[in-house]
Amino acid sequence: VYKYQLSVVSTSPTDIRLTWQPLSSQHSRGAITRYRIDYSALDQMDIMFSVELRGNETQFTLRELRPNQVYRLRIAAGTSVGFGVPSEWVQHQTIVLIFAPSELKVRSRVSTLNVTWQPSPNHTMVSGYKLSYREAEADGTSKQEGSSKTHTIRLRKKARHHLLTGLVPDRQYEVRVWGFNRQKDGEAAVWKGRTDKIYSRPSGPSSSPPLPPSSIQATANSSTSIWLRWEKPRFINVRIINYTVRCSPAGTTNASLVSYYTSSSLEILLGGLKPFTHYELAVRSNGEDSAGPFSGTVEESTLPDRPSTPPQELQLSALDSSSVLVSWRPPLEPNGIICSYSILFTVNLSEPEHQWRNLSEDGDIFSTEVNGLSGGTWYFFKVGASTKVGPGPFSSVMDVQTPLPTYELDVHAVTGIIVGVCLGLICILLCMCFSFRNSKSRSVLHMVII
């Protein structure tokens, strides 16, 4: 039996290539006109395939075989008479096909890369994983390919992640992961990316934080609400999940007065604000696992409202029986510019408010004199403030009593009368004395005439 010099190699997972030496004439027993190749998979030996070739051929490639499968094959030479004794069976395994691991993900930090993956589909044929990494400057321009050393690490079959440490910050890396077995390395999954810059937070996000939104516009909607609208950042570097709005009264340094709201749309109605108050607003974008910086602030004031508290410190003092001085201070919460104060007063507390007498003063006046009152009477007063939106509440009622009228004498008039009377008496006395001296009888007569 002639021993064929057969060589068998796999060039791909589905191919086997045979090459052989042509038979010498002493073995051929005639001109070789053809060859026959028989083959079958070892697990299906009853299904035999045969191929016939011309006698001048010395190689043939079996195609469309199954990967990772043992085949047996033999060759026989034939003359015009017929085929001779075939060669012995030769066994050969097609190449194991190990797909690349799926879902290769890398979380980058300043000096580490946490590499995670899922097993390759043909996991059962894998006896372990290999991971290699090297510095890979973008475009390969700045560094020669050979200058960056490739490090390869063998990992267990069960390994699903590996932490690469001691890397250079802000440097491009290439990471490959592939399964292998005794015969062969599988296809590699490849990742390329950068380690974080040194100033990014060490425990911070893997990706760069999203940029703040643009074109932020605030519009007062009422005395307690402001509409805030914005647009997506001009450059989207990270998928934005939602936005955080910061709202604080302008110039506040008190952190407990700063409020935060979340919106997943491009607008929000901020409610529960204070009337006629200046607010500072800013918006930031939130990515999956990173929050961006806040935008610059925009400012807006809520609209004015009626005063929510009455004027303070109402004071009354009776000036005389017909006039009272009323004074007050502005309300604690004016909610706008006070344009007027109204002063209401009455003598009868059970009278409805519209029947009280009233006075009005400008918003910058804080006292007034009420005249034309009756003496010896109790008066009840209250004061209210108004903005251009409307009147606020009145202060609580205070009372005052005017004094009784007193009729005082004119000192000069009284003095004049007394002086006059005295002068008259003196005249009478003088006349009487004069008459006595002349004649007692006449003087008596004179006295009577006077």
- Binding stretches for ligand NAG (CB under 6 A): 54, 56-57, 67-68, 114, 116, 121-122, 161, 163, 219, 221, 241-242, 254, 256-257, 262, 264, 286, 288, 342, 348, 350-351, 358
Q: Give whole-number Cα distances, 314 to 90, 319, 396, in Å.
A: 116, 16, 9
- Work out how close the CB of 289 gets to ligand NAG at its nearest, in angstroms, rounded to a whole number: 7
Residue by residue, DSSP assigns 305-343 as ---SS--EEEEEEEEETTEEEEEEE--S--SS---EEEE
Q: Give whole-number Cα distances, 403 to 149, 238, 323, in Å.
A: 107, 81, 10
- Work out how close the CB of 415 gets to ligand NAG at its nearest, in angstroms, rounded to a whole number: 45
SS3 of residue 396 by DSSP: coil
- Work out how close the CB of 365 gets to ligand NAG at its nearest, in angstroms, rounded to a whole number: 15
Which of 241/319 has CB closer to ligand NAG? 241
- Work out how close the CB of 170 gets to ligand NAG at its nearest, in angstroms, rounded to a whole number: 19
- Work out how close the CB of 279 gets to ligand NAG at its nearest, in angstroms, rounded to a whole number: 15
Which of 59/439 has CB closer to ligand NAG? 59
- Percentages of the chain per state (helix, strand, coil), in multiples of 5: 15, 40, 45
Which of 84/392 has CB closer to ligand NAG? 392
- Among 363, 353, 355, which Cα is nearest to 397's? 353
SS3 of residue 154 by DSSP: strand
- Among 75, 4, 89, which Cα is nearest to 36's? 75
Show the CA angle centred on residue 269, arms to residues 267 and 272, nearest 5°: 155
- Work out how close the CB of 70 gets to ligand NAG at its nearest, in angstroms, rounded to a whole number: 11
- Work out how close the CB of 181 gets to ligand NAG at its nearest, in angstroms, rounded to a whole number: 12
Which of 54/437 has CB closer to ligand NAG? 54
Q: What is the dihedral of CA 424, 425, 429, 432, to 10 degrees?
A: 60
Which of 270/435 has CB closer to ligand NAG? 270
Distance CA 2, CA 35 (A): 14
Which of 384/435 has CB closer to ligand NAG? 384
Which of 26/256 has CB closer to ligand NAG? 256
Which of 146/251 has CB closer to ligand NAG? 251
Taking each helix axis from N to C terminus, what angle separates 411-438 and 440-449, rounded to the nearest 10 degrees? Answer: 150
Please check whether residue 385 is in contact with residue 394, taking contact to mean a CB–CB distance below 8 angstroms: no
- Work out how close the CB of 86 gets to ligand NAG at its nearest, in angstroms, rounded to a whole number: 21
Distance CA 278, CA 268 (A): 18
